[in-house]
Amino acid sequence: MDIDQPAPEDLAALRAAFAVDDGGESALGWEAVHAFEAEHGVLLPEPYRTFVAEISDGSLQGPPEYGLVGLAELPGDWGDDGEGRDLGKPFPLTGGWLWEEDDGPYEDPEAVIEQVLNHGSIVLGTDGCAMNWHLVVTGPQRGQIWHVTDVGAMPFGAEFGFTSSAPGFAGWVAHWAAGKEWFDKA
């Protein structure tokens, strides 16, 4: 997974997966992507960066269940207007954590949960009921997809378990396009 250069095969697969969309009319263009990055102090990981610039800025067809939200948007069930979100601060986790079951190694678990929700990631969309998919844009997990719910957070990709698919945005979309269950591996 190269998060600095988009692989041509990844871009071709993304174009194919979203071929029934608007033919690229919703794509933001490079000027808007650069403005977003400058405003938030981040460099979006590839191939997502090229995807929103050239292919599509969101999609009603998914993934996830209720569609891919635009770059600067939050899912309708987010609960607030995104106040307190800071994409420039690093995403705090490097491994999955079910905070409903334990406090983890954290002195202040509630503060870390707030950081998981608000630091270093863009929200790609929701499966409903506050089950959101995040793309990490800052920190050691940059380029990884995380499933963040009201009970915990888990990274997506075969190397993390629970799925047989490749990590990152292209792997996540390919998994969805293949019609697989999100967690297809025990």
- Residue 62 is predicted with a pLDDT of 79
- Band the pLDDT of 23: cuts 50, 70, 90: low
Q: How confident is the model at residue 24 (pLDDT cuts 50, 70, 90)?
A: low
In this predicted structure, the answer to whether residue 120 has a pLDDT above a threshold of 70 is yes
> What is residue 139's three-state secondary structure?
coil
Run of H or E residues at 133? strand 132-136
Q: Are 141 and 155 in contact (CB under 8 A)?
A: yes
* CA–CA separation, 97 and 149 (whole Å): 11
* Helix (H) / strand (E) containing 147: strand 145-148
Residue range 130-153, pLDDT digits in tens:
899 999 999 999 999 999 999 999
Asked whether the beta carbons of 74 and 55 are under 8 A apart, the reply is no
Q: Is residue 88's pLDDT more than 80?
A: yes
Answer for the pair 161, 185: CB distance below 8 angstroms, yes or no. Answer: yes
Please state, rounded to an integer, the average pLDDT across all residues of the chain: 91
